[in-house]
Chain A
C-alpha cells in the first residue's frame, strides 16, 4: 500500500475555554473521498480549516506526501495552501471580480503566470464546470449553484492535490444541489482527493470511500458508507444517521 497523501495527527483547537477539537487524526489516501458528517457544532468546519491553517491548530501535525508542513514559515504555508483547495459553504467568491477574474487571480498573483495564459486556463476551468457562457458575469449576477461551481473552478486552477469542501451545497436551493454534486462527482472520478463535510446522505453513501462521524470535537467512528449508515457500532452514530436520513430524505 502506498503512503497516505495527507496525514493529519492529533489536531486540537480551543476558543477560549471551549475545546472545539479534542485531538482529531485522519489519514487520507490519494483519490479518497472522505465524507465528514456530524451535528452542527461538532467541529467539522474548524477541522477543515485547520487542515489548511486558515485556523491555527493549538497542537497537531500534518504531512503532505510524507513531508511535514511547517506552517510557521510563510513561504511554506502559501505553497502548501495552493496544493489544498478549499470550497466554502457560502462560496466566498471575490465580489468585485467576474467569474473569469475570480479563477484567474490566483494564477496571476500567486503563481505568477502571465495574465493571458492564466486567462486561457481560467476559461478552460470554467468550461469544465459548465460556465463558459457566464464567465464575464459578476458573482452577484450568478445563481448559488453557479457561484459554487465558479469557486470550484477557482480552486482547481491552482492545481490542488487535495480539496476540502465545507458543506458545499448547504446554502443552495434544493434544485441547485444537483449541478454542484455533478461537478464534485466528476472531480472524484478524475481521481481528486477530497475531504467533504455534508449532510447529503444520498450523495455520501453513493460516492464516499469512507464516512467519518464527528461529534463534540472528536471522531466517534469511521467506516464505509454501508457500515456507518446501516450497521454503526456507536449508538450516537446510529441516532445521528437516522435523524439526517429523516431530514435529508431517501438514500
Chain B
C-alpha cells in the first residue's frame, strides 16, 4: 500500500471524530443563528424606526467583520481580558452563531416580504393581534420559503467552521493539520479533510431538501398564485 494511502487510513478515524465536532459546532451555530435571526427579521419587517435601526446596525456589524477577527476578538480579547473561562468550542459556537444570525435574519426577512400582504390582513380581520398573526400565519409560511436560503447558509457555515481551528477547536481541519505536521503527509490529509467537507455539505443540503419536500404545502406554489 502506498504511504499516502496508509496515512489516510491511519488518520481517518481521528478525522471522522473531528467531523463530529464540526457537525456539532455547525448545528449549534445554526440553531443559535435561527433563534436570534428570526426575531431580528420580524423586528426589521414589522418593527418601529428604532427596532429597524438596531437590526440594521446589528446585521451590518456581524456581516462586516471577518470571522477570524471575531474569533480572536472574543476569545483573546473579551474572554481573556475579562478573565472569563470559556472553551474555544463555546466561543466558536457563539461567534459563528451570531454571524449566522445576521445572515439568517436576511433570509427570513426576504421570505416574509415575499408573502402576499393579504395573509396578514386576513389574520387581522378575524381579530388576531399582530403577535398572533405573525406567529401563526406569517412565520410558518416564511420558514417554508426560507429553506433553500437556509441550505445555502448551512454550506457556508460548514466551511466557515474550519476557521475555528485557529482557536484550537478539535474539528476536521485542526485534526488534519495536527496529523499532517507530524507525518509530513500534507497532501493526503488535506485531501481527506476536503473530501469529508464535501460529503457533509452533500448530506446537509440533501437533508434540507427532504425537509423542504416534507413541509411543502400541497398544491401550493407561491409563484403561481
- The residues of A with any CB-CB pair to B shorter than 8 Å are 52, 54, 74, 78-79, 81-82, 84-86, 88, 90-96, 105-106, 109-110, 137-141, 151, 154-155, 158
Contact = CB atoms under 8 A, between A and B. Distances in A.
Query: Residue among B119, B122, B129, B217 with the most chain A CB within 10 A?
Result: B122
Interface string B130-150: 001000110011001000000
Contacts of B219: 138-141
Contacts of A92: 116, 118-119, 121-122
Given A95-B217, A140-B225, A81 B124 contact: yes
Contacts of B144: 96
Nearest to B122: A92
B222 to A, nearest CB: 8
Nearest to A55: B121
10 contacts: A54-B125, A81-B127, A88-B121, A92-B118, A96-B140, A106-B126, A140-B219, A140-B220, A151-B122, A155-B125
Contacts of B12: none
Given A139-B219, A140-B225, 11 more contacts: A52-B125, A81-B125, A85-B126, A86-B126, A92-B119, A96-B141, A106-B126, A138-B218, A140-B219, A141-B219, A158-B126
A140 B126 contact: no
A141 B220 CA distance: 8
A91 to B, nearest CB: 8
A154 B217 contact: no
A85 to B, nearest CB: 8
Contact of B129 (A74, A96, A105, A138): A74
Interface of B: 116, 118-119, 121-129, 132, 136-137, 140-141, 144, 217-221, 225
A110 B220 contact: no
A9 B98 CA distance: 52
Contacts of A137: 218
A217 B31 CA distance: 51
A158 B118 CA distance: 19
A140 B144 CA distance: 15
Contacts of A81: 124-127
Given A95-B141, A138-B220, A78 B128 contact: yes
Contacts of B129: 74, 78
Contacts of B123: 94
A48 to B, nearest CB: 10
A84 to B, nearest CB: 8
Contacts of A151: 122
Query: Residue among A79, A92, A93, A105 with the most chain B CB within 10 A?
Result: A92
B128 A106 contact: yes
Contacts of B218: 137-138, 140-141
A158 B137 CA distance: 17
